[in-house]
Amino acid sequence: SQTIHQWPATLVQPVGSPLSLECTVEGTSNPNLYWYRQAAGRGLQLLFYSVGIGQISSEVPQNLSASRPQDRQFILSSKKLLLSDSGFYLCAWDSGQGRGEQFFGPGTRLTVL
Amino acid sequence: SQQGEEDPQALSIQEGENATMNCSYKTSINNLQWYRQNSGRGLVHLILIRSNEREKHSGRLRVTLDTSKKSSSLLITASRAADTASYFCATLKGAGNMLTFGGGTRLMVKP
């Protein structure tokens, strides 16, 4: 069966520090991968998605970047964090078969101080 | 505003009552999905309804879709305290695989 992992679960970082959040998927090949951010009590904002290795599309211009070095690995990065980068970051995948049903990781709670 | 807006934003009911949440959207869709999120956790897919379907059931869940009104409803019957969570609708447009999520309804079921 398929599983999706995210780490770390929580992270507290100072303003101006770098960021690296990792997401890996098991049990499937060539998934579409997504990074979302969720503000407290709000819906999901799509940040990046990827349909294949090295292929990244950005939905919102911002301080963050994403990379997909391997088929089932998706990384969210920043060189210098801002206070506004605080939030709950969710990674998700789908099979790319057209139904669009997505499977989410447990999320990373990022607090920038 | 966003594709996929739920109402109410928050709902509080007693255990055993039914909970109804609504979702409206703006453009044509391929399908509409409902997800559940427990506090501080990832989202879990509940049910998918295609644009050519009008109603779908899964256990205590009943979803309706009215494409003429661009709206959907999620009904949870005989609610339980464990149903306490946020519920999100998400729409899939014809092109691509990207979902657009609404702001969610926070449901509290009191025991």
B5 vs A7: CA distance, rounded Å: 30
What CATH number was assigned to the domain covering residues A3-112?
A: 2.60.40.10
Nearest of A89, A88, A93 to residue A71 by alpha carbon: A93
Q: pLDDT tens digits for B29-56?
A: 999 999 999 999 999 999 999 999 999 9
Q: What does pLDDT average to over chain B? A: 92
The fold adopted by the segment(s) B5-110 is Immunoglobulin-like (2.60.40)
Nearest of A62, A37, A51, A43 to residue A94 by alpha carbon: A51
A–B CB contacts, 8 A cutoff, strictly below: 60
Question: What is the 3-class SS of chain A, one letter each residue?
Answer: CCEEEEECCEEEECCCCCEEEEEEEECCCCCEEEEEEECCCCCEEEEEEEEECCEEEECCCCCCEEEEEECCEEEEEECCCCHHHCEEEEEEEECCCCCCCCEECCCEEEEEC
pLDDT of residue A106: 96
Measure the CA dihedral B94/B90/B99/A95, to 10°: -90
Q: Taking the domains of chain A in order of start, what are their residue ranges?
A: 3-112
Radius of gyration of chain B (CA): 13
Q: A84 to each of A37, A48, A89, how far by Cα in Å? A: 11, 17, 13
Q: pLDDT confidence of B95, banded at 50, 70, 90?
A: low
Interface contact A100-B43, CB threshold 8 A = no
The 10 Å Cβ neighbour count of residue A14 is 8
Q: pLDDT tens digits for A87-98?
A: 999 999 999 877
Query: What's the average model confidence in pLDDT over A41-60?
Result: 90
Neighboring chain A residues of B40 at a CB cutoff of 8 Å: 88, 107, 109
